[in-house]
Structure 1
Amino acid sequence: METEIPALLRARESVGEERFTFHSSRMRMKHVTKEELAAMDADSDRCALELSDARVDVMGYACLVAIMSMGHGYHCVSGPRLQQVAADNGASTPVVTSAGALIEGLRAMGAKRVAVVAPYMKPLTEMVVDYIRHEGFEVSDYRALEIQDNLAVAAHDPMNLPDIVAGMNTDNVDAVVLSACVQMPSLPAVPMVEARTGKPVVTAAIATTWQMLKALDVETRVPGGGTLLSGAY
């Protein structure tokens, strides 16, 4: 959240007149387990309240698996609830979630079948896959990198991703979800994987930025942001 989304906003500044400030409030989590994710999600109201003090123009809840681990369709519950928290503090601020943004981004591109890479342990990855399938997509193939420590997720080398995708079946997919996690870096690998597979590539960070820009009524054209941030959607 605090690296790739600001990087995308800076890239947007290179081609547009907008200038962005970035503010964050943290929900605590050390290990990516269902129990810690539930505790983390319970802390999201506090974060929304704190950020609403700054009268920001849009908020992004950037933990995809925290949302998806709370049950099918939870992004439709979380976003409006956090928006109400902000409104009750006198700040009517749109709220997007990385989980909802990924779903909406895939729909915007017309994707039906996807391949997914996630850093989580296999049970959590399967939960994410099930959530995506419940939203109407076919997940043809997926990889769980089984990294439980949250800092280790952030330290994963994004240039490992092209070879990981090369070992997956992407022939019949409409899009590749290169990182189903805002925490796992992937931006440097996006153009390479798009070139190698010939498929649109999206990540949780790219989708979150896309939906934030839409909420701000800003053109969704960001250099290096892959197909979803080409400006076509």
Structure 2
Amino acid sequence: MKIALINGSPKSGKNNSARLLRSFEPLLGKDHELFHFHVSRLPLTESDYSALCHMDALVLAFPLYVDAIPSHLLRMLTELEDYMKAERSKEIMLYAIVNNGFFEGEQNKIAIRILQNWCARSGVRFAQAIGQGAGEMLQSVENVPHGHGPMKNLHNAMDVVAANLQSRKTGGTLLLSPKFPRIAWKIAGTMGWNAMAKQNGIMKKEIRRRLP
């Protein structure tokens, strides 16, 4: 099976979408051809778009932006839609992993709905999506073994999606929050923001200051 792993993060360096794809890739086994694309690094070429039209499955990972899809990724999907209508000759399945900075994974449901609408327009079959909350935790737990720690439910969801992909099955949308107390997540996040502010010469009271 030919599978495209598409990183939709606008960041060209380290990013959570890349972390998610790195965790997902080993679950696919070694019997598939894997192709990697990063939408923000360089604009996709005509040959890239054409290649995507001849995949068996697309795995798209991206961060939530204003409850929706990042603008650069939406532009890419709009262009890919035209290629799909012209070149697609077989059924292509789309699987997605969306992460956001809120604690609740349910915050991703609108972006996932946008993907479903795009699939309906382009002729791609929407197969399944994961919507993960507290995405900024991914960096701090990326060395935790698969199936353990606060992202255990995410790992379990990835297992389900990977199995469905290899069997060309569809599944329900999985909206997840980490297995971690929300109050502890909030405290840790606040400490992190305060530390970043201090590194940049900003005091706490300046963070809270309201503009006139």
TM range (shorter): 0.3 to 0.5
Determine which structure has the larger strand proportion and give its number. Answer: 2
Which structure would you say has the larger Rg?
A: 2
Q: Which has the higher contact order (CA 8 A, sep 6+)?
A: 1
